[in-house]
Structure 1
Amino acid sequence: MSLAPDRVMRSRQIFVTIAAVFCAVGTLVGFGVIGTRVEESAGGNLAADATLIAPAGTAFSIWSVIYLGLLAYTLRQWWTPAADTPRHRVTAGLAAISMVLNALWLLVTQAGWLEVSVVVIVALLLVLGLLLGRLHDRPGDGWVEWVVVDGTFGLYLGWVCVAVCANIAAALVARGVPATGWPSVAATLIVLLVVIGVGALVTDAYPGNYFVGVGITWGLVWVGVGRMTDEPRSLIVGVVALFAAATVLAMTWRSARPAKRPIPVPE
């Protein structure tokens, strides 16, 4: 016996809202309101000066935009027309899981479990990738949907693409891998090239959604700034990070431009 459609929709709305509340609690912990700030947790290995691929502190201001978007998404899904579309039905669960994973990551890092945090953030990356795929397969209707849903989760995915690299580097440094030196520089340069490849994949997979590329670009720009202005300094990493940012942005711009339709030729 199946549940009534209204009851299913209400359960979905409640699930998303509970996930958002849990995410808000995790955010308060991460901001240091009821816990230790992220950059001070896990022995300082997540600080902006901990690894060569750590973005400068200003980069994390993107979370203000993402959290505002998640709040708008949570509120909007209580509006019946938006809550009862096929698009929302197949993505609401993934959106809720992404918020839970975000809070879980913050709580795990509070405990200093960097290896576990890598597992959590990789899971978050996969969930967001699946979510964006479903959004792309079902185009939204109107600019509000585009900004609140596609925009929020696009930026979210883009930022996480860079954050997962920084998280893995932090875990390795915590395990005793040197944060500086030519081996670390070489490894970081390889990772930056991989991020360019990831940028190419996502811009090809989600043409028209330039929020993902903007999120990646934002993170890479601040990796470059961090390596040029803060410790550990590395001019070559900074230059390559900025080059990677420019490359991803160019690919994003190209994919977001509407394709030109051929002019029909009379037979």
Structure 2
Amino acid sequence: MYHKHPYRWWNAAAFAAVITINILSNALPLGGRNTGDISDQFYIYITPAGYAFSIWSLIYVLLAGFVIYQLRRDTSSRDSVRATGIWFILSCIFNMAWLFLWHYLYIEWSVFAMLLLLASIFVLYRKTRGISSPSPGERWLVKLPFSIYLGWVSAAFLVNVGIVIYKNGWSPLGLSELGWSIALLCIGVILAVAISYPPRDGILPLVFVWAYIAIAVEHRDEGTIMLTAFVLGALVFLYALWLMIFKRRQHSYRY
């Protein structure tokens, strides 16, 4: 007998809450300021161009696909769905917590909330990456959503850390703002490789490419940051292509 995912309806409710809070955060807006206003208030060298945040629309569409997939009678009992356990609900809670903390300018606490969000998505990513011989539904509605979600939140977390450094006037390791901004970009590349290499995931690094190109576009008048972001983005892009080719060859050898 196959058991359906015990949290499937809670997942749907939690996701609906996330969408509602996201809408209200800019419609009200929460704290009297929208997300863009806060980003402008704490503008740093690794703030990406505004268009980059449109990726949230793709992320939420894919997560909606996951929620619908795990609700269906014929797929809610799949091991790939059941493996997500309570982690999707936790990710939704941390997502909403971040929004409240960010909008009410508890910036330092918002980094902690985003770290918890990052950790919960990472668990979901690892569990869904363990799917062997995924069906088309599992590939597009279980694996893909968490690849893109984790990639973007990882990049956003580094920006959030940068904002805390800037807000408090810190100089980690004696570095200037330009210096620690470049250091964070380099850490992002290491993070992208460290997460994506074990499962040979070529999609997640492309999210970093999206972020880095947006940073280069936004700071095109600041030559050092523009060049650094563009070069690192290009290197990560080549790495992502290599992963895709490597995985395709590995798959073909099995047959």
TM-score (norm 2): 0.88
* 2:76 equivalent to 1:83: yes
Q: Which portions of structure 1, spanning 4 or more consecutive aligned residues, are displaced by more than 4 angstroms?
A: 260-263
* 2:249 equivalent to 1:259: yes
Alpha-carbon distance between aligned partners in 1 of 2:41 and 2:135, rounded to the nearest angstrom: 38
The 5-angstrom pairing of residues 23-102 of structure 1 reads: 23-35=18-30, 36-40=33-37, 44=38, 46-47=39-40, 50-102=43-95
Q: How many residues align?
A: 247
Residue among 78, 83, 98 paired with 1:105: 98
Unaligned runs of 5+ in 1: none
Q: Which residue of 2 aligns with 1:128?
A: 121
Residue among 208, 221, 237 paired with 1:216: 208
Q: Which residue of 2 aligns with 1:158?
A: 151
The 5-angstrom pairing of residues 168-207 of structure 1 reads: 168-177=161-170, 183-207=176-200
Task: Return the offset for 1:100.
Answer: 2.1
Unaligned runs of 5+ in 2: none
For residues 113-167 of structure 1, the C-alpha deviation after alignment (integer angstroms, 9 at most, x for no partner) is 0011000111111222221111122236322321222111111111111101110
Alpha-carbon distance between aligned partners in 1 of 2:28 and 2:132, rounded to the nearest angstrom: 38
Alpha-carbon distance between aligned partners in 2 of 1:216 and 1:72, rounded to the nearest angstrom: 23
Moved more, 80-89 or 159-168: 80-89
Task: Supply the AA of the counterpart residue of 1:216.
Answer: F
For residues 223-259 of structure 1, the C-alpha deviation after alignment (integer angstroms, 9 at most, x for no partner) is 111111xxxx521111111111111111111112223
Percent identity reads 18
Alpha-carbon distance between aligned partners in 2 of 1:107 and 1:197, rounded to the nearest angstrom: 30
Task: Return the offset for 1:170.
Answer: 1.2
Larger Rg, first or second structure (1 or 2): 1
Task: Return the offset for 1:92.
Answer: 4.2
Q: CA RMSD in A?
A: 2.4
Kept in 1: contact 2:42–2:167 (CA 8 A): no
Alpha-carbon distance between aligned partners in 1 of 2:182 and 2:77, rounded to the nearest angstrom: 46
Task: Return the offset for 1:197.
Answer: 1.1
Kept in 1: contact 2:80–2:138 (CA 8 A): no
TM-score (norm 1): 0.84
